[in-house]
Amino acid sequence: MNRSLDHTTSLRIAIQKSGRLTDKTIDLLHGIGIEFDNYKRNLMVKTRNFDVELLLLRDDDIPEYVQDGICDLGFVGANEVFEKNTRVNVLRGLNYGNCRLAVASPKDSALVNPSDFEGKKIATSYPFLTKRFFEDQGISIEMVEISGAVEITPQLHVADAISDLVSTGGTLKANGLVERFTILESETKLIQTQQALSEGKQQLIQKFLQRIDGYQTAKKSRYILMNAPLSSVETIKALLPSMKSPTIMPLAETEMVAIHSVIPYDQFWDVMEQLQDAGASDIVMLPIESMIA
Ligand code: PRT
Ligand code: ZN
């Protein structure tokens, strides 16, 4: 059944109502200029300045809502998208909510490599991905499907091992478990329905993506300013890891210039020391709100 609600003109976007992904998703939406409030009290929120409405859902429900066209877009972990085996288009990886679905067993256990798990009981809230992982390697396991507190099951002798989401590894450690191997690396994804969308909605999605890309690039970049002797300009230009030519402005003090550039954040500290060695001083680094190429 085609349950697409494409007769509505607003782009409908599903986000997690309350959980680990909520704050970062809201920050991203605000960061790309979408204004709204009262999201904590309502299930549906109209935005003030963009033709977008937000539907606040449990993360488990988001892939299906998007697959069925009830929502046009959704922000949800790859773990949910792939566990639900939904037919949606993954538009972007957003590099937050990062975690992995991993198999862990008690620290003194002989269950280490996938082949050790033949005939063993594995507790998980991710039965589809876990089963498929072992099946692909010709290993048959016994699945114990659990909806929460999976990490306690080996101590209760409900299972020999678990397959669960891990980020810091603290929960596994606290329960005497050791991570053995990864089934899936996960991050928050922006997904789109495969249902046909009106021209207007498609254009809105393109605009939305352009803003997200600008926001993501800005997050990874820094604006740097510095003063330098005119004689160092060529050396400094060669050091700057920027795709674009820097801006160079004369200072009141002759023989000195101000140099402005945008560089990848992860290279800032290495470059900063080299810039100092090349004669740069008063180096300032600023965050960037957004960046449209
Ligand atoms: O109510 P709703 O159904 O919406 O939320 P939820 O309780 O099902 O999900 P929530 O908010 O806990 O997580 C939402 C999404 O965050 C997940 O689907 C993942 O995509 C992502 N994510 C990132 C995580 C973690 N990191 C994570 N560490 N989800 C869960 N965990 C749990 C994990 O299950 C384990 O219990 O945290 C524990 C392990 O954490 P560490 O840091 O001790 O390893
Ligand atoms: Zn959930």
Please work out whether the CB of residue 162 comes within 6 Å of at least one atom of ligand 1.
Answer: no
- Are 81 and 212 in the same domain? yes
Q: Per-residue DSSP letters for 75-105?
A: EEEHHHHHHTT---EEEEE-S-S-EEEEEEE
Rounded to the nearest whole angstrom, what is the distance from the C-alpha of residue 22 to the centroid of ligand 2?
12
Q: 4 pLDDT exceeds 80?
A: no
Answer whether residue 281 is part of any domain. yes
User: What does the pLDDT look like over 212-249, one tens digit per residue?
Assistant: 999 999 989 999 999 999 999 999 999 998 768 899 99
**Ion ligand 2 — residues with CB under 5 Å?**
59-60
- Are 93 and 7 in the same domain? yes
CA nearest to 185, candidates 255, 54, 97, 124: 97
Substitution site in 75, 81, 166 for ligand 1 pocket (most atoms within 8 Å of beta carbon) = 166
- Are 201 and 242 in the same domain? no
CA 18 to chain centre: 17
Rounded to the nearest whole angstrom, what is the distance from the C-alpha of residue 148 to the centroid of ligand 2?
10
CA nearest to 224, candidates 256, 271, 257, 293: 271
pLDDT on residue 103: 98
Q: 5 pLDDT exceeds 60?
A: no
- Are 81 and 128 in the same domain? no
Q: Please, which pLDDT band fits residue 52 given cuts at 50, 70 and 90?
A: very high
Cα distance between residue 168 and residue 100, in whole Å: 10
Answer whether residue 292 is part of any domain. no
- Are 128 and 42 in the same domain? no
For residues 62 and 37, which has the higher predicted lDDT (pLDDT)? 62
- Mean pLDDT of the 96-109 span: 98
Amino acid at 66: V
Of the residues 202, 218, 234, the one at which a domain ends: 218
Cα distance between residue 25 and residue 21, in whole Å: 6
Closest CA to ligand 1's atom 30: 165
- Are 105 and 155 in the same domain? yes
Closest CA to ligand 1's atom 21: 97
Q: 194 pLDDT exceeds 70?
A: yes
CATH of the domain at 204: 3.40.190.10
Q: Please, which pLDDT band fits residue 65 given cuts at 50, 70 and 90?
A: very high
- Are 89 and 196 in the same domain? yes
- Residues near 176 by beta carbon (within 8 Å), at least 6 away in sequence: 106, 107, 154, 155
- Are 89 and 107 in the same domain? no
Answer whether residue 88 is part of any domain. yes
Kindly compute the dihedral angle of the four CA atoms of residues 101, 166, 98, 144, in this order, to the nearest 10 degrees. Answer: 40
Residues of the domain holding 66: 3-97+188-218
The ligand whose atoms approach the alpha carbon of 126 most closely is 1
124 phi, psi to nearest 5 deg:
-165, 155
pLDDT on residue 289: 86
User: What does the pLDDT look like over 103-151, one tens digit per residue?
Assistant: 999 999 999 999 999 999 999 999 999 999 999 999 999 999 999 999 9
DSSP state of 195: S
Q: 184 pLDDT exceeds 90?
A: yes
- Residue 244: Cβ-neighbour burial (10 angstroms; 0-12, 13-18, 19+): exposed
Q: Whats the size of the chain, residue-wise?
A: 293
Closest CA to ligand 1's atom 17: 77
Q: 202 pLDDT exceeds 60?
A: yes
- Are 84 and 149 in the same domain? no
The pTM score is 0.90
pLDDT on residue 282: 95
Per-chain mean pLDDT for the chain = 93
User: What does the pLDDT look like over 169-181, one tens digit per residue?
Assistant: 999 999 999 999 9
- Mean pLDDT of the 72-93 span: 98
Q: 277 pLDDT exceeds 90?
A: yes
The ligand whose atoms approach the alpha carbon of 20 most closely is 1
CB-based contact 130:182 (threshold 8 Å): no
Please work out whether the CB of residue 63 comes within 6 Å of at least one atom of ligand 1.
Answer: no
- Mean pLDDT of the 30-55 span: 90
% of the chain at pLDDT higher than 70: 97
- Are 213 and 88 in the same domain? yes
Rounded to the nearest whole angstrom, what is the distance from the C-alpha of residue 167 to the centroid of ligand 1?
8
Count of structural domains, the chain: 3
Answer whether residue 157 is part of any domain. yes
Rounded to the nearest whole angstrom, what is the distance from the C-alpha of residue 61 to the centroid of ligand 1?
15
Helix, coil or strand: residue 125: coil
Substitution site in 99, 130, 163, 166 for ligand 1 pocket (most atoms within 8 Å of beta carbon) = 99
Rounded to the nearest whole angstrom, what is the distance from the C-alpha of residue 127 to the centroid of ligand 2?
14
For residues 94 and 6, which has the higher predicted lDDT (pLDDT)? 94
Of the residues 171, 186, 201, the one at which a domain ends: 186
CB-based contact 201:72 (threshold 8 Å): yes
Closest CA to ligand 1's atom 32: 165
